[in-house]
């Protein structure tokens, strides 16, 4: 089933997520406050816009409440990550996935209503560790 996603923050994570969702046949509105990442994804995403998503009026204009799933892929700027997640939940987006840098960041995101928290570096480490362990088992 074709779904509509909003991806906020087009760093390495948000960009690769957008590419993958599009490759799987979904629609993605990709947003970043900086021009360069928006230009780079413009030909790939369904729509790409330069906007600061900590601004309530901006999210309203982007039609945030019409999306069933939004992903907040802002890492370094904790304030922006938290405020954007909070606003998306206030707009009643049913599913908000937020990227956390560490447990403390994740715990705040969870308290303000994020439905799913992901820790890319930690989770990738676990995945690779499990993968390498099962490769070893096969080797023996
Ligand atoms: P990655 O690891 O995915 O490369 P990162 O964890 O280092 O990224 P940042 O570089 O902090 O995360 O943020 C990712 C993107 O989010 C950046 O391109 C940045 O411009 C964008 N961003 C930050 N604040 C906002 C905001 N308020 N609205 C929209 N985009 C934002």
- Kindly state if the Cβ of 91 falls inside 6 Å of ligand 1: no
Tell me: ipTM over 0.90.
yes
pLDDT in tens, 43-91: 999 999 999 999 999 999 999 999 999 999 998 999 999 999 999 999 9
Residue 59 per-residue DSSP state: H
| The ligand 1 atom nearest the CA atom of 76 | 11
3-state DSSP assignment of residue 50: strand
- Kindly state if the Cβ of 16 falls inside 6 Å of ligand 1: no
- pTM score, whole prediction: 0.94
The sign of the dihedral angle between the CA atoms of 63, 90, 12, 3 is negative
The rounded Å distance from CA 9 to ligand 1 centre is: 4
């Amino acid at each position: 089933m074709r779904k509509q996603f909003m991806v906020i923050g087009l760093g390495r994570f948000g960009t690769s997520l957008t590419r993958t969702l599009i490759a799987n046949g979904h629609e993605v509105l990709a947003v970043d406050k900086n021009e360069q990442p928006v230009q780079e994804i413009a030909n790939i995403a369904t729509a790409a816009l330069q906007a600061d998503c900590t601004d309530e009026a901006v999210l309203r204009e982007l039609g945030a409440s019409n999306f069933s799933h939004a992903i907040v892929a802002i890492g370094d700027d904790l304030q922006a990550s938290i405020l954007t997640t909070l606003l998306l939940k206030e707009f009643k987006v049913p599913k908000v996935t937020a990227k956390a840098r560490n447990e403390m960041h994740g715990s705040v995101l969870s308290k303000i209503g994020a439905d799913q928290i992901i820790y890319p570096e930690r989770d990738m480490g676990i995945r690779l560790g499990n993968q390498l362990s099962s490769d070893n088992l096969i080797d023996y």
